[in-house]
Amino acid sequence: MFRRKLSALGYQNPNEFNVNGTIYENEFRNFVIWLEDQKIRHYKIEDRMGLRNIKSSDWSSSCETYFKDLGCPYQKSERTNMIEWILAYAVRLEYGDHVDEYKAADPSNIAMSQTDRVPSSNPLDNLDFNDPDFKAGITSLSMILQIPPHADHLEQLKAICMVVKDRLSQEAIKKFSTEKQGEQLPLDQTDLGFDTGDYIINEAAKILRLIHIKNLRDLQTQINAAIVGVQALIANPKTDSRLGKVGY
């Protein structure tokens, strides 16, 4: 959990760093004096003797005083939090010492080594978004979903995500399954009522007629709902007794 900060500070063997348990006590002590000597430098050199003498029985007391002088809010019983805090403190100091160098750095030119990568169980983290096969997959998926092409394949991927979210999300599927499905009418059994003399025009006219009928039915349903709403208001009017008047 400390590997990235240790790597940023140039600590030796950051992958092997382990300070949990009694057998790793010396590693913890060496770690503390290394940070003080190389990065933090809070004490004068002559005042670091208590930390340098890692074999001393008084080292724990010297370490506790050192963390208190740094302003660490954690106690020695919270070693993991102490390590996290002092690493973050050292990283801030390191950045302050080389702020111009870090500001001038181009993140796109900084390649993280394989050993510095944090293992991830998410397969998407291991994808190469510029791989030709990945781009070809986006193109094929766009054609299936009937999404217009785009010069930037990542922008096209965003469009695919929006379509999938809109049409294939759990909410969209649930809404579709609960909607009342109309009766399916075979087009060849639909009577047009007239003949244009052209088969293709006849078929197109049948489709237009069915669409028109569906629109009329939807309109009638809305009109019926409006009538029911108005009738509900009329059948149960609200009266204000304060407006009542008896006599002339």
Residue-wise pLDDT for 99-121, tens only, equals: 777 677 666 555 554 445 555 56
Q: Given its phi and psi angles, is residue 71 left (phi above 0), alpha (psi -120 to 50 degrees) or beta?
A: left
Instruction: Note the pLDDT tens digit of each residue in 206-248.
Output: 788 778 887 888 888 888 878 877 776 665 555 555 555 555 4
Burial bucket for residue 51 (CB in 10 Å: 0-12, 13-18, 19+): buried
pTM for the model stands at 0.43
